[in-house]
Structures are given as structure tokens and as C-alpha cells.
Structure 1
Amino acid sequence: MTDSSPRFRPFETLLDEGRALSLLREAVAGADDGELFLERRRSEALVFDDGRLKTASYDAAEGFGLRAVAGESTGYAHSTEISEASLARALSTARLAVRGEDAVLAAPPRATNRRLYSDRDPFDDASFGVKLETLREIDDWLRARDPRVVQVSASIGASMQEVEILRPEGQRLWEARPLTRVNISVIVEQNGRRETGSAGGGGRHGLAPLITRGHWEGVAQEALRVALVNLEAEDAPAGVMDVVLGPGWPGILLHEAIGHGLEGDFNRKKSSAFAGLMGQQIAAKGVTVVDDGTLPDRRGSLSFDDEGTPSQRNVLIEDGTLVGYMQDRQNARLMGVAATGNGRRESYAHAPMPRMTNTIMLGGDTPPAEVLAGMKDGLYAVGFGGGQVDITNGKFVFSCTEAYRVRNGVVGAPVKGATLIGDGATALRQIRAVGNDMALDPGMGNCGKAGQWVPVGVGQPTLLIGGLTVGGAGV
């Protein structure tokens, strides 16, 4: 048996491995694929708002998901009770997908002992009292920093997920997945006008680096800076214009408008705007996009995905040409390609599907100052809030949280209320300059798909896109 979990056996006291393997093999008899996914998760969140502790929550959950896959059909059953009796009851539900007895199980994923992050429990890094005092210090520091600060909201979050995957050929994988985050939001007021700024981030590591004064002061200062910028902002212009996106977090537009359209299930079903375009040029020359789940300690990274496939660096667009999709095992098999380590699920209660990890546009060779210098009249967007996208046509709408008017290559006054409107396929072709300053986001991304949420990362360099529609109140 291949075993990548020599130190821990988190579920062995609840479920005999031999019996579990026997029931799993019965569940997938005649199927193409399947696995037993076991999970234990603990999470904590503290929110300090307006000078007091507003929320302190702690959650713990465990359970299993049993899956049998036959062709395009999936039988899935899950339970919060990890026991042989519960697994036996789940078997009949999982087998609903199996119609015959002639299928041959797909080859298992290759084994890996790679670890991209520590298995240290972030709950061991600080006591409740230390976390509370840190939040109070953040609040005091911001209020003392500027008299215009009228409200501060700060939060500390940590979770520890232990997963174990048992596959019918006997492969067994285990790992612990820590996740931590600190967020700060500040409201400032001047002459009756209020504006907000926020900053934060984290990753798959302990909590200690995030709650040191040297770290959170920088986060707090950034949140305050954005709020003060917005306090001086004018109404955003409206119309079709060139837009420069800043490095790092603005890659969320890439994630939503393009990334989802490159997930295998949408392309197999031909519901993506990029379906059937493999090998064709879909972006401007010089544009290369990768999804990389192997970056150490990053929020979207996984040592192996939720089916057991090792994560990898997948090139999706190379020099403007579509060269790959992100795949889980089922869609890869149906499309006749290899799985890419993108089979992800929110929890044991969900079946896996193709999902992004860390989706990044690689840098070019143009200094960012030159990218901006080439703009006659447009918008420089460096911060984004919420957005929406239609996968079938790639049309998107994104709101800017920090943006500036640019005229004749000079960055001018900040603007408020700007929204970017377009479609991913067109935006890719209209990229006119790619900066050499590629940066990753600070670790704050979450991605929703079919009701499931997973942590993700994004990144990109400074980017000039010609002819996006900007929604705003100004002229």
C-alpha cells in the first residue's frame, strides 16, 4: 500500500482500514473511479468592531464522503458519523451511479510525499487572550494614527483541516492543511463624508507571523491609506476607455473572467466561451497564464488535491495560445487528457470538481511606468471588491475599491464608484502591454462555484487593456 502519512493516523480509531477498503471496493465495483474522503476541521474567528469584541466563534466538524464515478454520472454519499455502519449505509447511495459491471478502474494518481506547508497547528500559536489583545492594539493604533478615523474593524481567523483519502487500489494519503488570515477595515470621516479602506491576507502557515506588530501595522497602514485616498476621490468617469490594472490582487479579474472559463467541466460540456479553442490564439501575444498549486504556503496551494492527485504548475495560455484546461479526474478521463491536480471540494459533504488554485498571469518585459505612460486618457485600477461573471460568454462586471484617472500618462486624482464591464475573451485580445512587476495577492481570495467555496490565490503584473467599458457617474 502506498502511504504518504507516516506520522499520523487521525481516523484509525474510528474506522478499520481493512473494512473501509473492502466497503470502498464494493462501492466502486463496475465504476470508473471513486474514493473515500475523510475530513476533520476546526476553525476560529474573532472580530473586533467599533472598540469591542463583536464575534468570537469556534467550529469543529468531521465526516466522510464516499464517491463512485461511472462515465458522466457520480454517486455521492456523506455522513458526519465516521464508522463502519455509516459507511455501509452510504454504499448503496454511491452505487446509484453504477449501471454495469464491465468498467475498469482508472489508474490511480501518482504517489507523493511532497509537503508545501507545515502541519503545525495554528491554534497553538497564540492564546485567546493574545489574539484579543492584538485586535485591541490594532484598533487603538489606527485611532491614534489619524483623527479622521471613526471606526475600525479587525479580524483574526485560523483553521486546521486534516484530510485522508483512501483509494480502491489501496493508496492512502493524509495531510494537515493550515489556513490563517488577518483582515483590517477602517472608516474615515471628513466634512461629513465617510469612506472605507481595507487590507489583509494570510496563507497556509501559522498565525504567529500575522499577529506580530511588524506585520499588522503594515496592514493597518494600508487600510488607512486606501480610506484616505477614497476620501479625496472624485466621481469616476463613464465610457469606453483604456484601463491599466495594477499588480497582485487585481488578478481577481483574471480569475473570474478567464479562469473559470478554463476549467475542464465547462469546456467538456461546451458551456465555456473558450470551448473548442484549444491550440488557437485567444489572447494577445506575450500573455501567459498559469494555475500553480505548488507555491509554498500560499492560500490556494495544495500538496495534493481532494482526489489525491499531486498539484502542479499548469500552463493554460502560452504566449497568447490556449494550451491547457484545469482538470479533475472525471473530466480529464472523459476528455482523454491527464488530470492536473485541480479536483477540489469545500468539505467531505461535497463531491470534487475542477477548481482553480493560484491563477497567475506571468510578467512581461515592460516597466510599469512605461505601461502607464502609454495611456492618453483612461483609468488606473489597483484595488477591486466584488464582481460577477457569466461563464457561458465571459461577460464580467467588477467594482473598483481604489482607482485613479490617467491623462497623457500622468496618474491624477483618485476616483470612486468605478466599475469595469467587459468579457474575458475580448479583454484577453485587447491586452496591449504587460509589465515586468508580477506580484501575488496578499492571500485573501475565496472562490465560489456551484455552491462550494474554496481558498484561492491570484497574481498578475501591471497590465494595459484597451477599450473596456467603465461605469461611473462622471464624465
Structure 2
Amino acid sequence: MASAPDPRSLLYSPGQLTPDEAQALAAETLKACDDGELYLQFIASEAFGFDDGRLKTCDYSRDAGFGLRGVSGEMTGFAHANDISAAAIRRAGETLRLLDPARGERPAPPRASNRHLYTDASPLDLVPFAEKVKLLETIDAAARARDPRVAQVSCSLTGSWSVVEIVRPDGFLATDVRPLVRLNVSIVAESNGRRETGTFGMGGRWLYDDLFDPAHWNRGIDAALNQALTNLESVDAPAGEMTVVCGPGWPGVLLHEAVGHGLEGDFNRKGTSAFSGRIGERVGAPGVTVVDDGSILNRRGSLSIDDEGTPTQETVLIEDGILKGYMQDRLNARLMGVEATGNGRRESYGHVPMPRMTNTFMRGGNDDPAELLSRVKNGIYAKSFGGGQVDIVSGKFVFSCTEAYKIESGKLGAPIKGATLIGDGPSVLTRVKGIGNDMALDEGIGVCGKGGQSVPAGVGQPTLLIEGLTVGGTA
């Protein structure tokens, strides 16, 4: 049996660019810079959208290119092109002549690593086109057959496969091959003229196998349908300051937005984060420990190496309520006099890296989730969130609940609609009064936006009891 082709052959070709030429060009174009790299990338992606009982969209794309970045002091020079050739890289190097010359000793290259947190295989090539379409047809039919109140079903299947190589002027070379898949199911239920929606998604850095397992996609249908039917029974949300219990897993997206972005190195170096200059201070209640970890096997937000070649790691940001550190790329780590944490990420070869989250979550505590609920006489239980916004400087956030319930005398009451949670990151952590022993990561659907770039990310948390959150309702 023939061996699989070398993924690097998608980046290099005779007459265009060879590995030796890439090394020589990186050394030549970046010789006057403090830091920088030549970033090569090939990416193939596909997306299938099934809606209204038929295949509505089917996209496939391939792209390849390079980004050449030079850093001197705080200045960055960057050029990119979708032409991986020695001539194009040499032309891009002209941009870097505008930078000031190197100011001092160059930082050491990232430490070498040969670990693999996910398979090198491409999910796109292992399943025939017809089987992918058939899966969505099957999900659509099964969802419609579940309940007579199902009025509409939408489902999608997406996958990508990327090969990246990072070439530095000091001779450092790192390669990473990155798969990513995702399945989404959305169901609209209708009863007595009222329509409500429920959604569910799952994915990660693996192949399509698990998504084709009936046990998994049936679970997705059940979850989406249950949410839609629950929302059909929802009543107007109350408003005011009250106690909120947030469920485990995906509700960690509130932590991601309200706290996570404020703990990224660039905002803190510039003094624009609500957490700037507060290392060693108490920023959360006792027991609150927040971690970013890009080294978890097969997770959506994980990377064997970040987009500067630094191996990802577990970074404790807040420990037992005390601020311990920030997430760092190489540039901000150097300027702040600390170590890079493997959080330098970019959307593609056409973007510069910046400090970004990977999988960010709060560790579990010792409380029984049912006991936490029993403490609340009047409040809400937030099981799932939709969109949210945060102001990095103040830490203020607004989040909408897609599935939530009243809590009455320690028990779940009626489902509610239109609930939003309003607060600010620095104070919300101090209002945590109970931490469940049921920490869970999300199902693998997170997308994080920052500075015009989007990257996959993971979130998670245990059940949390938070006092004194402002709830914006419809009642």
C-alpha cells in the first residue's frame, strides 16, 4: 500500500520554494529584526448546509499562502500573499525595511516539541461526498419524525484541514497539521401559533467518525428539540438584581468573554484591561481558579503548537481567587519581561498573531449542584447562552440566555424567555458563592473574535452560584 503523501509537499514545490530556500529567506529578510517568522499555510475546508428539507449550500475551498512578520521593539511589519514562492517572499521582505533596526539581544526561539494532540489525517478525504449529504438528510428526517410540533430543521456539517510551517531566522522550524470538524442541528418547534428555536452543536480536532455515529447525532437532535419545546412553554423573564445559577459546560462562554479577554497580554501591557497591574491581587472569590489550556487532546481550542511555534500549555490565570498571570504571545511576553505561554494565535497566513485564548475554563469545586440550587429562594437558572458583548477596559458584559428557568424556593420553575445577564468581569468573580463539582467543557462549537480575526476556542465551567447579577428581562 502506498504511503500517504507528506503534508509539507502542499507548502513546497521545486521551482517555487524549497525548505532550504525558506530557511535562507527567513534569515535574509528578518536579519535586522528583533523577532519574527515566515508562516506558511495550506488549508482546505468544506461546508454543507441542509435547510428546509434540501441541501441548500455546499462549499469547498483550498488556499495556500505565507505571512512574513518582522518585529522590532513594539513595531511590527507584516506582508502576506497567496503565492508561496521565493520571489514573493523576497518581495514581502521589502516591507520590513521600514522597521527600525534590532535594538538588542534577540529572544530565544520557542522550545522544540514533537507532541501531537490530534491526528494528521484529513477529515475531508476519508468520507465520500454522498455520505456527508446522506448524513444531513438522515438527521433532517429523524428530527422531523421526533415530534409533530417540529416545523423546521436546519443542520450543517463543516470540516477543515490545515498544514502550517513556522520558519524562523535562527534556524527554528515547526510543522503542525490541524483537523477540525463540527456538526450543528437547529430545530424550530411550533404550537398554537408560537414558534421557538433550539440548537445543539458538537465538534473538535478529530475526524468525522464520531459525528456519523447515530448515538451522537441523535443526542444532538434530542438536545435541540428539548430546548425548542422548553422555550415554547417559556414565560417572560423577570428583571432586577438577583441570584443566578449558571449550568456547567457551555455557560463558560460568559467567563470567556467577561474575564478571558481581559487576561490577554496585549490589553494588560497597554494598561487597557480591567485586570491591568493587578497580579497578586484578589480578583475572585476563594475557590475560583481559572485556567487556559491549549494542550488538551483533540479539543476544538487546542493546538500542538501556537502560531508562533510555542508549544501550548496549561496556564493558571487566577488561582483560588488571586490573579496569577496573563496569556502571552512572544511580542507581549518579551515587552513585559515574562515567558510566552503558547497563546500566540492567528486566523490564517494573512493575519498577524496576537494573544488569544485556547480552552479557557474554571475548575470545579466541592459543592453538589443540586444543593447549590436548593440555596436559591428566588432567582434564575441559566442553562445555555447565545450572543454576548464585553468592554475590555471596564469588563462590563451583556449576555443573552437561550435556555433559562426561574428558581423558586430552591427548585426549577417555569422556563423563561428574553433573559439577559448584565455585569462586569472583575466583580462577577467576587460574587461567586458556590462552585459545583461537575466541571465540564463545552461540546466543541466555540468561535472567538478579536481584532477582526476569528479562531476556534473552547470554554467550560462547573455549576456556579452567583449573587447579585443584574438580569434584564421582558416582564
Q: What range is the shorter-chain TM-score in?
A: over 0.9
Q: CA deviation at 1:243?
A: 0.5
Q: Deviations over 1:100-144 (max 9, x none)?
A: 255332100000000000011101231111111111111111111
Closer, same or farther: CA 102–267 of 1 in aligned 2, 3 Å: closer
Q: CA deviation at 1:15?
A: 1.1
Letter in 2 for 1:94: L
What is the rounded CA distance, in whole Å, between the counterparts of 1:414 and 1:204 in structure 2?
Answer: 34
- Equivalence for 1:35: 37
- Equivalence for 1:323: 324
Aligned partner of residue 69 in structure 1, secondary structure: strand
Q: Deviations over 1:29-87 (max 9, x none)?
A: 23210100000001100000010111001111110000100111100000000001100
Q: Deviations over 1:221-278 (max 9, x none)?
A: 1000000000000000011101010000000000000000000000000000000100
Aligned partner of residue 349 in structure 2, secondary structure: coil
TM-score (norm 2): 0.97
Structure 1 stretches of 4+ with a deviation exceeding 6 A read: none
Kindly report which structure 2 residues correspond to 1:98-247, keeping only aligned pairs within 5 A, or say none: 99-247=100-248
Q: CA deviation at 1:9?
A: 4.4
Closer, same or farther: CA 6–405 of 1 in aligned 2, 3 Å: same
Please say if residues 387 and 399 of structure 1, whose CA atoms lie closer than 8 Å, have aligned partners that are also in contact: yes
- Equivalence for 2:47: 45
- Equivalence for 2:451: 450
Identity %: 59
Q: CA deviation at 1:182?
A: 0.3
Letter in 2 for 1:143: R
- Equivalence for 1:390: 391
- Equivalence for 2:289: 288
What is the rounded CA distance, in whole Å, between the counterparts of 2:97 and 2:340 in structure 1?
Answer: 23
- Equivalence for 1:95: 97
Letter in 2 for 1:166: V
Gaps of 5+ in 2: none
What is the rounded CA distance, in whole Å, between the counterparts of 1:361 and 1:303 in structure 2?
Answer: 22
- Equivalence for 1:21: 23
Q: Deviations over 1:301-345 (max 9, x none)?
A: 000000000000000000000001000000000000000000000
What is the rounded CA distance, in whole Å, between the counterparts of 1:291 and 1:16 in structure 2?
Answer: 36
- Equivalence for 1:380: 381
Letter in 2 for 1:33: D
Please say if residues 401 and 418 of structure 2, whose CA atoms lie closer than 8 Å, have aligned partners that are also in contact: yes
Please say if residues 31 and 104 of structure 1, whose CA atoms lie closer than 8 Å, have aligned partners that are also in contact: no
Letter in 1 for 2:39: F
Aligned partner of residue 457 in structure 2, secondary structure: strand
- Equivalence for 2:264: 263
What is the rounded CA distance, in whole Å, between the counterparts of 2:418 and 2:112 in structure 1?
Answer: 50
Kindly report which structure 2 residues correspond to 1:275-354, keeping only aligned pairs within 5 A, or say none: 275-354=276-355
Aligned partner of residue 363 in structure 1, secondary structure: coil
What is the rounded CA distance, in whole Å, between the counterparts of 2:79 and 2:7 in structure 1?
Answer: 29
What is the rounded CA distance, in whole Å, between the counterparts of 2:90 and 2:8 in structure 1?
Answer: 25
Kindly report which structure 2 residues correspond to 1:414-433, keeping only aligned pairs within 5 A, or say none: 414-433=415-434
Please say if residues 259 and 356 of structure 1, whose CA atoms lie closer than 8 Å, have aligned partners that are also in contact: yes
Query: Which of 66, 70, 73 is residue 71 of structure 1 equivalent to?
Result: 73
TM-score (norm 1): 0.97
Aligned partner of residue 310 in structure 1, secondary structure: coil
Please say if residues 30 and 102 of structure 1, whose CA atoms lie closer than 8 Å, have aligned partners that are also in contact: no
- Equivalence for 2:402: 401
Please say if residues 28 and 169 of structure 2, whose CA atoms lie closer than 8 Å, have aligned partners that are also in contact: no
What is the rounded CA distance, in whole Å, between the counterparts of 1:138 and 1:293 in structure 2?
Answer: 32
Letter in 2 for 1:23: L
Which deviates further from its counterpart, 29-38 or 249-258?
29-38
Please say if residues 73 and 103 of structure 2, whose CA atoms lie closer than 8 Å, have aligned partners that are also in contact: no
Letter in 2 for 1:355: R
Letter in 2 for 1:11: L
Please say if residues 154 and 185 of structure 1, whose CA atoms lie closer than 8 Å, have aligned partners that are also in contact: yes
- Equivalence for 1:252: 253
Please say if residues 28 and 95 of structure 1, whose CA atoms lie closer than 8 Å, have aligned partners that are also in contact: no
Please say if residues 30 and 104 of structure 1, whose CA atoms lie closer than 8 Å, have aligned partners that are also in contact: no
- Equivalence for 1:11: 11
What is the rounded CA distance, in whole Å, between the counterparts of 2:105 and 2:361 in structure 1?
Answer: 37
Which deviates further from its counterpart, 379-388 or 10-19?
10-19
Please say if residues 258 and 395 of structure 2, whose CA atoms lie closer than 8 Å, have aligned partners that are also in contact: yes
Closer, same or farther: CA 177–237 of 1 in aligned 2, 3 Å: same
Gaps of 5+ in 1: none
Q: CA deviation at 1:168?
A: 1.0
Please say if residues 34 and 103 of structure 2, whose CA atoms lie closer than 8 Å, have aligned partners that are also in contact: no
Give the RMSD, CA atoms, in angstroms. 1.2
Please say if residues 369 and 436 of structure 2, whose CA atoms lie closer than 8 Å, have aligned partners that are also in contact: yes
What is the rounded CA distance, in whole Å, between the counterparts of 2:82 and 2:142 in structure 1?
Answer: 43
Closer, same or farther: CA 57–6 of 1 in aligned 2, 3 Å: closer
Letter in 2 for 1:91: G
What is the rounded CA distance, in whole Å, between the counterparts of 2:269 and 2:27 in structure 1?
Answer: 28
